Amino acid sequence: DGSSFVDESMVTGEPMPIEKNAGDAVVAGTINTTGSFTFTATKVGAETLLAHIINMVEAAQGSRAPIQALADKISAVFVPIVLALAVLALAIWLLSAPTLGLAIALSYGLTSFVGILVIACPCALGLATPTAIIVGVGKGAREGILIKDAATLEKLHQVNIVVVDKTGTITKGKPELVRLENFSRLPDEKIISILAALESKSEHPIAYAVAEYAKAKNIPAETVSGFAVIKGKGLKALVGQTEYFAGNIKLLADLGLSFDSNKIAAETSQGKTPIMLASATEVIGLVMVADAIKPEAFAAVNDLHRLGIRTVMLTGDHQNTALAIAQEVGIDEVVAEVLPDDKLKKIKELQDQGRIVAMAGDGINDAPALAQADIGIAMGTGTDVAIETAGITLLHGDISKLVKAIRLSKFTMRGIKQNLFWAFIYNIIGIPLAGGLFYPIFGWLLNPVFAGLAMAFSSVSVVSNSLRLKAKKL
């Protein structure tokens, strides 16, 4: 019983309220924006959509396997091998006692034994990964990229497909006035002033868009009286002695005013909402309200393509709207009119194809997909649920930071590989030198003091190489 407009952004992610009339379903947790109605609860507790979303998030988070660092695997066998080599070197020197004499053989043997233990200290191996990760995470924070754990930073560079939500990720997530058409002799500023006055009495998000536009343009709202809501169609009020009407095409029909609906059909199919302004005798003008694309989205998608990464948009919005925005931004694939579990299924489908998937979103409806993706990326302007679920948070909701995060991961992993390479080369050269392998040929036998200095130098070189990441431009 009754009718209203309901904000279903929790489920669909779309900012525009949906008209609800008798017989329509409403979801628990959504927001009634205007009007009033009586409803019957058909599902409660664990059967509700919100409970279903929570269960999907928990299941996806629980299925994620931890990443074990390469350096940890190496360190597990490194120490026993080094001890064995040190003992072997001592034994070989002692076997040469008949030739060198017991005192000299024992002296050289102990020197080699201690030298190997000192020079082969696994500090460089132990520092190779954590120093690069610490510097990488710190640089990310300075760039507005908050990284939850090292595993996320390690895996991000492997991503080959990025899935994005539309609202709040590619678009700003709130309606904006994008166009004005004037059919009268009134100045454009006068039309905005009248509309701002009428819409100031409404709590509808579209009304907020008109008010914000007027405020940005420093256009004062007219003084109104006799304000009244025309349910499902718009509103009316007196400005001076003239009664003005603001609303949809249905309102014009009630006033007996004709208007070519084809004029705006193409734009409404792309997600734009018209607000008509009329008097009792004529159509004065219209404004188009839409969820505007973020300015940085164009460059971000282009940069992802340059990195060889495919892009997919998942949205609860209409197909035509999603396709129009995707085409404008340059996104490769669009899946529209999806619910949270549909987004989750799409992520699993891509993973089954062998893709490494990053998912970027900002709403409760994105949480299951964020949890399932190999890398979950939340907009800092989004919901707490999305931020908690994701492994990376982009402050200020800037999608261009995603490209920087991927580059940061590439630089960090390159630094780790360089560190590990240096640590291996150092040990490959240092251990034979300390063990006396070159003594019979060149007479070289490394003093434990110099072995200690070499060990310290290897650690310093690894840390210095990691710190170079701070100077990298993302």
Q: Which two tokens stand for residue 155?
A: 């895996």
8 A C-beta contact, residue 393 and residue 443: no
The residues carrying an active-site annotation are 165
Determine how many CB atoms are found less than 10 A away from the CB of residue 261: 12
Sign of CA dihedral 297, 303, 304, 309: positive
d(CA 313, CA 32): 28
- Among 226, 228, 277, smallest CA distance to 255 is for 277
